[in-house]
Amino acid sequence: MKKTIWITGAGSGIGEALALAYNHTEHTIILSGRNKTQLESVSKNILNPYILPIDVTQENQITKAVATIKSTFGNVDILINNAGVSQRATVSETTNDVGRNLMEVNFFGSVHLTKAILPMMKKANKGSIVAISSAAGKFGFPLRSYYSASKHALHGFYESLSLELKDTQIHTMLVCPGRIRTDISKNALTGSGKSHNQMDQGQLNGIPVEKCASKIIQGISSKKAELYIGGNEILLIYIKRYFPFLFRLIAKRVNPK
């Protein structure tokens, strides 16, 4: 069935893999992110791409983008709030400005975009809204304080939203990837806001990004509420839930890089 799919952070990593996995003559894939050149490069492999560069931290850009989508497509069937940035610094090393920026991108960026698209979805009484959280949205982790907090915040927001939407046909899903092999650690922010610029060992050992995209697409099709994707690190979510003491013992020993 013909679908209009809007993916943020579509110029790289999980967003790019989702765009390629959804690529089909019937679908229109709206590619968003800040770097237009990267979006154009991804769009070359997409049959029906629509490039819509935005910075999700800028509310005026979100408003403009949603108006463009409304006039061009009328609605979107699937919104995937995937844009995000990680952190590689201790609490003490991270300036307040960098911490606030992590919240702006990972939490408010996702939330503001969702709020802006909701009226269209409510009018059509259909659609899927996906928030890419993280395993770090289920437990804290060294060098990820603000990142983990921003992802935990997504859970409070989207769980509340899904309950508010109980009498509609609008589906919401939170995705918690563990370690997926992308450039996320290179793009992660240090305490002063510079790029960490290193491919961490944990990232390198992560599962292939195509596998992650395929599981997200299956989750959307089967209208899952929450999805965990990754390797053994996903066990930590269950250990934290059922044996919090054991979680602390294990997490202290895991290399955060």
Ligand X SMILES: NC(=O)c1ccc[n+]([C@@H]2O[C@H](COP(=O)([O-])OP(=O)(O)OC[C@H]3O[C@@H](n4cnc5c(N)ncnc54)[C@H](OP(=O)(O)O)[C@@H]3O)[C@@H](O)[C@H]2O)c1
DSSP assignment string, the chain: ---EEEEESTTSHHHHHHHHHH--TT-EEEEE-S-HHHHHHHHTT-SSEEE----TT-HHHHHHHHHHHHHHHS--SEEEE-----B-S-TTTS-HHHHHHHHIIIIIIHHHHHHHHHHHHHHHT-EEEEEE--GGGTS--TT-HHHHHHHHHHHHHHHHHHHHTTTSSEEEEEEEE--BSSSHHHH-B-TTS-B-----HHHHTSBPHHHHHHHHHHHHHTT-SEEEESSGGGHHHHHHHH-HHHHHHHHTTS---
Site for ligand X in 29-48 (CB under 6 A): 33-35, 38
Site for ligand X in 115-174 (CB under 6 A): 132, 134
Out of 5, 6, 7, 14, the only residue in the binding site for ligand X (CB under 6 A) is: 14
Interface with ligand X, residue 184, by CB under 6 A: yes
Quote the tokens at residue 2. Answer: 């013909």
Interface with ligand X, residue 61, by CB under 6 A: no
Instruction: Provide the 10 A C-beta neighbour count for residue 186.
Output: 16
**Taking the complex as a whole, how short is the minimal distance between the CB of residue 99 and ligand X, in angstroms?**
15
Out of 20, 183, 193, 235, the only residue in the binding site for ligand X (CB under 6 A) is: 183
Out of 20, 23, 24, 55, the only residue in the binding site for ligand X (CB under 6 A) is: 55
Of 108 and 247, CB closest to ligand X: 108
Annotation says 147 is catalytic:
yes
Interface with ligand X, residue 182, by CB under 6 A: yes
**Taking the complex as a whole, how short is the minimal distance between the CB of residue 67 and ligand X, in angstroms?**
18
- Site for ligand X (CB under 6 A): how many residues? 31
**Taking the complex as a whole, how short is the minimal distance between the CB of residue 125 and ligand X, in angstroms?**
28
Quote the tokens at residue 124. Answer: 């059509």
**Taking the complex as a whole, how short is the minimal distance between the CB of residue 51 and ligand X, in angstroms?**
12
Site for ligand X in 195-254 (CB under 6 A): 206
Of 123 and 204, CB closest to ligand X: 204
Out of 29, 31, 79, 83, the only residue in the binding site for ligand X (CB under 6 A) is: 83
| 136 class by beta-carbon count within 10 Å (0-12 exposed, 13-18 middle, 19+ buried) | buried
**Structural contact between residues 181 and 87, judged by C-beta atoms closer than 8 angstroms:** no
Of 123 and 225, CB closest to ligand X: 225
**Taking the complex as a whole, how short is the minimal distance between the CB of residue 42 and ligand X, in angstroms?**
9
Residue ranges that bind ligand X, judged by CB under 6 A: 8-9, 11-15, 33-35, 38, 55-57, 82-86, 105, 109, 132, 134, 177, 179-180, 182-184, 187, 206
The catalytic residues are 147
